[in-house]
Structure 1
């Protein structure tokens, strides 16, 4: 970084937000180091001149954006002050040494005066004039001695005070220097953290890019496969808005049968995809026998003249040809389909009626191994004898259906593939892909495959409006 082009920004709303910084300065910066915990960022501008202009307008910037701006110079210049203070202390030490030498010289002079005084006293007895002269000189010497002593003490006190003041200044400079070193260490650590985060983000972006590319290639492969095997020139009419009603029944809690743990999220997955395809979604949870039958009869009595299609998704325990209500009553799938056939519901005549069942259809397990996990299950054959019906099963008749701790794989694949291909591809092709995805489940002991039963006369394509 160029220190002359760097400014410290503080006062970001809700943390040092890159989007807020870009909104204020647009593309005027080369680099931004964020410190979200203290709502501060270190910004390197494109040139020192631009940084100087921003610093010159710090009052206007604070008023308009709430950001406080400062340069790095106050953080860096104290190093020069430390050097200056050391030089001043050195000069004071030299001055103190000189004063001490002068004091020693004056003490020597005082000793000489004392000797001279002794000589004068011995000569006092020899002559009175010499005595008076000696007394006069002695008084003068005493006065000089006192004056020199007082002056020396005053000079010593002044020097001691000045030395103490310089030592305090030196301690302050050392404290500032330690603070600056700590700030530099924190800045270095922040730069290292920022660099590590940048590397991790690049690796994550690369990984996501590879996954997206792989998914894109898989989607293209499926589209090519579908285009080569399905004629889309004869679809059912799909022009109404809303396209139709989608009923979702998810029985999770039961009276005596085991609860279907992990199934809670399947309702949301199906709701999202069918709302995205233009349906009015109606959801039910834990319906007993009477309420399940009533819910389907209500749809049979409703007027679907302004709809193109009807969808029903049922998730529960089951046995062959049946699904269970929350009060543990097995209901024939054909009995649930009957209220919306052409005779019971004329407004749905000639329109596709689609049923998707996530429930076991028996107790047998696909492949030979025994099964000791949760399944929705007991055996009876069924078939629809009327046109324009589609029945998608999460398993094949006579076998258990898989359900994981976070939901049913059949529901996950159905929702994703309808969302990705529903507006452009025929339902039968999409359900073939669902079957393929179920078959790809990585399970060393068991095999999983879905099945479909259709009397549709045309292609079902949920074209975008």
Structure 2
């Protein structure tokens, strides 16, 4: 019996099982080149109300691509360990013997693992930022909710908690400073950028640490590890983030506070800035796209501006959207993509590209294309940055 006929006979059972995690199976099919980037984006954004409708569209797409793709799809369902553990009921469906998929090669450091398909270039250890310290580093969350003019950024606490949870899972100590003026933000950034020895932050900074269930006062001194994450959640204007007094702190000043120096504990280490803030007052609109086709650091020194990545919720001049209960589009997408993709060994730039795509597909109006958002990533990283979940 042909693979296509086998898939057709078992279509209902397979679809019912795969409905358990439609996004996971869509990503797996895309990662194994069974669908094109354009098909992936179309399937991800189809207007279906339930999981079954999305899975039906995916399986129909596979069947329409012919015998070889159907065979590869059936092989994937039977041989991929992640799929077998996610959908154990697939073993109850009688399918023909599968061809073994290429075994992944493993690149390991003393504290992290990266799994790559055999058809991809195996990175040298020198091409990866080493993340061997325990904890991996500090994740500082600056969460401005209540402003002196009486405005409140509802939903920001949800973003702060989501960030604390995901970066704790990735081996970081998650810290939060809440409701800081411009001057307080600058003082906090200066203190963290100059931190070299084990120390507790000054009481006036009101730093709290994520305990797994909430934020409490830090009990252990802080020190930098092998990476630093800084998340800024606030109102903003073009090129700047606002303190609770509505005075701006420029993004350039924020990142340059962590310039490489001979004294800095973070010199040569990755510094990631995730910024949820408007960058203007304009609202982006969308356009309909039809028939779119896809087409080692060898020296003994590094530039002072090196090893920085800045991801901003929106491009300059435009607003960014935040749900009053569920949090912002950008931060929630970052957390979701980190949770899904870090266990697969994907690097941060690849993950943030998925974030860009995810945010770009959201709609802030019932009229498609009327209100859109496009997040942005800027970086001068010298190596590949891969975070791995840490189980304590």
Indicate the TM-score class for this superposition, using the shorter chain for normalisation: 0.5 to 0.7
Whether 1:403 aligns to 2:322 is yes
Q: What is the rounded CA distance, in whole Å, between the counterparts of 1:329 and 1:344 in structure 2?
A: 32
Give the 5 Å matches for 1:219-258: 219-221=27-29, 223-224=31-32, 232-233=123-124, 234-256=127-149, 258=151
What displacement does 1:339 show? 2.3
- Give the equivalent residue in structure 2 for 1:113: none
Distance 1:229 1:402 in 2: 37
CA drift of 1:208 comes to 9.3
Query: How far is 1:241 from its partner?
Result: 0.8
Q: CA deviation at 1:311?
A: 0.4
Q: CA deviation at 1:224?
A: 4.4
Quick one: which of 13, 18, 26 aligns to 1:218? 26
Residue number in structure 2 paired with 1:160? none
Residues 223, 458 of structure 1: CA spacing in aligned structure 2 closer, same or farther, 3 A cutoff? Answer: farther
Distance in 2 (CA, whole Å) between partners of 1:354 and 1:222 is 28
Q: Distance in 2 between matches of 1:395 and 1:286?
A: 22
Alignment size in residue pairs: 246
Equivalent-residue separation in structure 2 for 1:276 and 1:307 (angstroms): 16
Deviations 1:157-207 (A, max 9, x none): xxxxxxxxxxxxxxxxxxxxxxxxxxxxxxxxxxxxxxxxxxxxxxxxx99
Q: Any unmatched runs of 5+ in structure 2?
A: 1-13, 34-115, 198-222, 288-302
Q: Which of 392, 401, 406 is the equivalent residue of 2:311? A: 392
Instruction: Determine if contact 2:194/2:264 at 8 Å carries over to the other structure.
Output: no
Structure whose CA Rg is larger: 1
User: Which residue of structure 2 lines up, in the alignment, with residue 346 of structure 1?
Assistant: 264
Tell me how far apart the structure 2 counterparts of residues 339 and 249 of structure 1 sit (CA, whole Å).
15
TM-score (norm 1): 0.49
Q: How does 1:31-110 map to 2 (within 5 A)?
A: none
Would you say 1:300 and 2:108 are equivalent positions?
no
Q: Tell me the SS of whatever aligns to 1:347.
A: coil
**1: CA distance between counterparts of 2:372 and 2:195?**
41
Corresponding residue of 1:419: 339
> In the alignment, which of 249, 262, 284 is matched to residue 366 of structure 1?
284
- Report the Cα distance in structure 2 between the residues aligned to 1:344 and 1:358, rounded to whole angstroms: 31
Alignment-derived partner of residue 384 in structure 2: 459
State the shift of 1:236 in Å: 0.6
Deviation at 1:364, TM superposition (A): 1.9
Task: Look up the match of 1:273.
Answer: 166
**1:231-272 deviations in Å (ceiling 9; x for gaps):** 754211111110000000110111126321222211110000
- Counterpart of 1:173 in structure 2 is none
The offset of 1:326, in angstroms, is: 0.7
Paired with 2:120 and 2:274, the residues of 1 have a C-alpha distance of: 23
Instruction: Report whether the alignment pairs 1:333 with 2:251.
Output: yes
Structure 1 residues 353 and 219 mapped into 2: Cα distance closer, same or farther (>3 Å)? Answer: same
What is the aligned partner in structure 2 of residue 146 from structure 1? none
Q: Secondary structure at the match of 1:422?
A: helix
Structure 1 CA distance, aligned partners of 2:354 and 2:188?
Answer: 31
Alignment check: 8 A CA contact 1:324 1:331 kept: yes
1:403 to partner: Cα distance: 1.0
Using a 3 Å threshold, how does the CA distance of structure 1 residues 261 and 229 change in structure 2: closer, same or farther? farther
Q: Is the 8 A contact 1:292 1:325 kept in 2?
A: yes
RMSD: 2.8
Offset at residue 464 of structure 1 (A): 4.4
Quote the Cα distance in structure 1 between the aligned partners of 2:346 and 2:320: 26
2:95 corresponds in structure 1 to: none
1:430 aligns with 2:351: yes
Structure 1 pair 306/290, CA: closer, same or farther in 2 (3 Å)? closer
Range moving further from structure 2, 431-440 or 256-265: 256-265
1:321 aligns with 2:239: yes
Larger helix fraction of residues = 1
TM-score normalised to structure 2 length: 0.58
Aligned partner of residue 183 in structure 2, secondary structure: helix
For the residues of structure 2 that align with 1:458 and 1:276, how far apart are their CA atoms?
22
Deviation track 1:46-99 (CA, whole Å, cap 9, x = no partner) reads: xxxxxxxxxxxxxxxxxxxxxxxxxxxxxxxxxxxxxxxxxxxxxxxxxxxxxx
Contact 1:238 1:463 in 2 (8 A): no
Counterpart-to-counterpart distance in 2, 1:230 and 1:265: 38
Relative distance call for 1:294 and 1:388 in structure 2 (3 A) is same
Q: CA deviation at 1:345?
A: 5.3
